[in-house]
Amino acid sequence: MRASLLGGPFTFPGTDLTVRRMGFGAMQLAGPGVWGPPADPQSAETVLREALEAGVNHIDTSDFYGPHITNQIIRKALHPYREGLVIVTKLGARRPPDKSWQRANSPEELTAGVHDNLRNLGLDALDIVNYRVVGSGHGTEEGSIAEQVTALAELQQRGLIRHIGLSNVTATQIAQAQAITDIVCVQNLYNLVHRQDDLLIDDLARQGIAYVPFFPLGGFTPLQSSTLTDVAQGASTTPMQVALAWLRQRSSNILLIPGTSSLAHLRENLAAADLTLSAHALLDLDRMA
């Protein structure tokens, strides 16, 4: 696959960081339940190396994946990092021994999280850090994030973070954060059947801010639909490729980070960057919401 494809370039606003719109999400490189090491660490490293050889230069990760495991795999597979690779990580959660997902959003916890990411990735500064609002589920919940964003802005002033993003947030929270510092990306739940952020995506596009959907293929419950299957058959492709192509065509500020620990799935995902859906197919898919 030519590196010039992969959805074309996107530059995060106010930065010199330009990525191809088809990236890679590293969460699935950890073991089952995003806990502990994978059964085959060498295979995970191979997936990462092949992604970069195919032209991927945007990796999404977090030190609470594993915990620590995913970042350690990234470092082992790719360090020293090639020029132009943008690694985006996130803070706001922790994984206690019971394998649950708990909030870790005090200034002290956020600072510790930055140092964990720096250490396990082998970096002196993090390209982009998303503050992930951890609520009762994957959906957003209103509430002030001023304390957390201020803490990240202070870490940015210290040179430990270059740029700041947000995850699992509302429009109100984004506006609150923007009153404190520049926001370069927003990462929320969004896919063919979860469309609550339609207006938000359009607003961010007008500002040139990246929108990065997590669970673009449905996450722990993969997307299933007769419409999706029919469109895929008509395009001689797979349902998952159709779901990714729809996202890419939805808006030019959408960056994709499908994750996998399988080489076959990696190749399937990356091939979706070359798929252009017809106007009729897009109309059918839009009706799934």
Helices 41-53 and 263-271, axial angle in degrees (round to 10): 20
For residue 37 the two structure tokens come to: 């090491």
**60, 88 Cβ separation under 8 angstroms:** yes
Q: 35: which DSSP letter?
A: B
The yes-or-no answer on residue 65 being catalytic is yes
Host H or E run for residue 90: strand 86-91
Integer Cα distance of 240 and 215 in angstroms = 12
DSSP state of 162: E
- Gap between the Cα atoms of 149 and 176, Å rounded: 9
User: 247 and 195 in contact (C-beta within 8 Å)?
Assistant: no
Catalytic residue ranges: 65
